[in-house]
Amino acid sequence: MRRLFIFVCTFLMAYQWSAAQAQDIYQKYDIYRSPFRVLANKIGWTVSTGYAATNYKHDLAGFYFYQDGENQLILSKQNELGPVFSGYQHWMSNPTAGEEVNLDDVFDVPYDYLENPVNNPDLRNRQFIGDADTMGLSFSSIASTVPVMASAHYDFQKFRIGLGFQYERHYMTPLKPSVYQEVIRPYEPDFKQTHYIKYFGMMGYEFYEFWDYTFVLEVQLGRAKPGKEINTNAIGIGQNFYTNIGVNIEHNLSEYFRVVIRPSYDIKSYVINLPDASSIRHTNSAFMVQVGISINIPEIPRSPMASDHVQLKHVITDPASGRLMEVRGQPMWKKQNPKVGENHRRLWRYKLKNRRKIDPY
């Protein structure tokens, strides 16, 4: 522990010394830089959109399942099963009592021959009841999702920390049963679309660099609020938390401008409470791919002199104030320190449009 304390203290002192050395140059020559720009430059801003495949899934362990030509109902097994089935519908979003139905004699024909298409030409419209535990019954589907995200983060060495907001639009599809597909119909939620609004904090670590590419492992932790299509009064308390784990692949066009591709996996679920005090958990985790841009506000302005064509960062005398100021010669989406030939990596004579003029063969 003592060695760790000494190491941390030494690291912080070395960092402060290097920062002081850099600052001394500006103080020594009285080079002006806007304090607001210097502060704003430390914050990275990112916007992105993309596509996600959201896996809506739930199992009916602990429930009876009932189906006929018009209804699909569930009832907790804590209730006794009698000649009248009083179950619940819309169990994914807004559970309400379904129509009470009289159960036929389950020992009567054609129940002994449910799999016989001769006796049951339309099995999915006949009365069916089963113990979901015995059957291992669950439902699942993939919903297409469009996420739109905006975030801000602060970089310190290879670490980053920040906050963000994300809006997601979900396009639902019927959930297919895991068993007895020839008998049980896909479950159709009572909503075709819904949305989620997410607020999150994030932490990241830059673990690899390759040429102009940076790879950042990033974790988001936050709350996901569903749209009005899902009755929030029926959702269990504390069920809105989610976790997202992803990798930012950042192509650095300059030190201020990056194109970001972010594959990630979203882990979330919610619990719906039924009126009889039973509950059912729905998972809706997702695989996402988002594409966007990330920028930092430059800490120094472009050169105000029209005749200044220097590509490097350099110091000039401000024509307005007469004091020394540091400026850049490139727009923020180009490299600010290109050295020789960075703007034109291929010589003029080797460009495709000029190649024939030099070598007609």
Sequence-ordered list of residues with C-beta below 8 angstroms from that of 229, at least 6 positions apart, any chain: 93, 190, 191, 193, 194
Q: Is 2 a member of any domain?
A: no
Q: What is the mean pLDDT of residues 278-299?
A: 94
Q: Are 227 and 154 in the same domain?
A: yes
Q: Is 11 a member of any domain?
A: no
Q: From CA 159, how far away is CA 140, in angstroms rounded?
A: 38
State the pLDDT at residue 111.
Answer: 42
Q: Indicate the residue among 271, 296, 321 that finishes a domain.
A: 296
State the pLDDT at residue 109.
Answer: 42
Contact indicator for 92, 57 with CB cutoff of 8 Å: no
Q: What is the mean pLDDT of residues 178-206?
A: 93
Domain around 63? 59-135
pTM of the model: 0.77
Q: Looking at residue 184, what DSSP letter applies?
A: S
| In the predicted structure, residue 204 carries a pLDDT above the cut 90 | yes
| In the predicted structure, residue 164 carries a pLDDT above the cut 80 | yes
Q: From CA 254, how far away is CA 259, in angstroms rounded?
A: 10
Q: Indicate the residue among 119, 135, 151 that finishes a domain.
A: 135
| In the predicted structure, residue 187 carries a pLDDT above the cut 60 | yes
| In the predicted structure, residue 361 carries a pLDDT above the cut 60 | no
Which tokens is 126 given? Answer: 């006949």
State the pLDDT at residue 338.
Answer: 55
Q: Are 120 and 259 in the same domain?
A: no
The rounded mean pLDDT for the chain is 82
| In the predicted structure, residue 27 carries a pLDDT above the cut 80 | no
Of 267, 268, 269, 265, residue with least CA distance to 290: 265
Contact indicator for 49, 290 with CB cutoff of 8 Å: yes
The mean-pLDDT minimum among 35-44, 137-146, 351-360 falls in 351-360
Q: Is 6 a member of any domain?
A: no
Q: Are 337 and 277 in the same domain?
A: no
Sequence-ordered list of residues with C-beta below 8 angstroms from that of 47, at least 6 positions apart, any chain: 149, 150, 292, 293
Residue length of the chain: 361
Q: Are 251 and 307 in the same domain?
A: no
For CA atoms 253, 255, 257, 262, the dihedral sign is positive
Q: In the chain, which residue ranges form alpha helices assigned H by DSSP? A: 2-29, 35-40, 132-135, 352-358
Q: Is 17 a member of any domain?
A: no
Q: Where is pLDDT greater, at 194 or 310?
A: 194
Q: From CA 183, how far away is CA 219, in angstroms rounded?
A: 43
Contact indicator for 162, 196 with CB cutoff of 8 Å: no
Q: From CA 176, how far away is CA 212, in angstroms rounded?
A: 45
Sequence-ordered list of residues with C-beta below 8 angstroms from that of 348, at least 6 positions apart, any chain: 354
Q: Where is pLDDT greater, at 1 or 284?
A: 284
Sequence-ordered list of residues with C-beta below 8 angstroms from that of 236, at least 6 positions apart, any chain: 270, 271, 272, 273, 279
Contact indicator for 293, 252 with CB cutoff of 8 Å: no
Q: Are 163 and 193 in the same domain?
A: yes
Q: Is 319 a member of any domain?
A: yes
Q: Indicate the residue among 268, 296, 324 that finishes a domain.
A: 296
Q: Is 32 a member of any domain?
A: no
| In the predicted structure, residue 291 carries a pLDDT above the cut 80 | yes
| In the predicted structure, residue 353 carries a pLDDT above the cut 50 | yes
Q: From CA 287, how far away is CA 245, in angstroms rounded?
A: 10
Q: Are 189 and 89 in the same domain?
A: no
Cα separation values, 341 from 155, 189, 301, Å? 30, 60, 22
Q: Are 47 and 187 in the same domain?
A: yes
State the pLDDT at residue 92.
Answer: 92
**Domains: count for the chain:** 3
Beta partners for residue 177, in sequence order = 139
Q: Is 201 a member of any domain?
A: yes
Residue 40: HSE in the Cβ half-sphere, 13 Å Cα cutoff: 13
The mean-pLDDT minimum among 33-47, 95-109, 144-158, 275-289 falls in 95-109
Contact indicator for 313, 328 with CB cutoff of 8 Å: yes
Q: Where is pLDDT greater, at 11 or 94?
A: 94
Q: Are 290 and 182 in the same domain?
A: yes
Q: Looking at residue 186, what DSSP letter applies?
A: P
Q: What is the mean pLDDT of residues 328-342?
A: 70
Q: Are 287 and 170 in the same domain?
A: yes
Burial 45-71 (b: 16+ CB within 10 A, else e): ebebebebebebbbbbeebbbbbbeee
For 210, counting Cβ atoms within 10 Å of its Cβ (0-12 exposed, 13-18 middle, 19+ buried), the class is exposed
Q: Are 51 and 177 in the same domain?
A: yes
Residue 122: pLDDT band (50, 70, 90) is: low
Q: Where is pLDDT greater, at 238 or 319?
A: 319
Q: Where is pLDDT greater, at 176 or 113?
A: 176
Q: What is the mean pLDDT of residues 318-324?
A: 82
Q: Are 50 and 196 in the same domain?
A: yes
How many CB atoms sit inside 10 A of residue 282's CB?
22
CATH of the domain at 155: 2.40.160.20
For 4, counting Cβ atoms within 10 Å of its Cβ (0-12 exposed, 13-18 middle, 19+ buried), the class is exposed
The mean-pLDDT minimum among 24-28, 80-84, 106-110, 125-129 falls in 106-110
| In the predicted structure, residue 223 carries a pLDDT above the cut 50 | yes
Radius of gyration of the chain (CA): 31
Q: Is 262 a member of any domain?
A: yes
State the pLDDT at residue 10.
Answer: 57
Q: Are 274 and 149 in the same domain?
A: yes
Residue 45: pLDDT band (50, 70, 90) is: very high
Q: From CA 75, how far away is CA 80, in angstroms rounded?
A: 9
Single-letter amino acid, residue 353: K
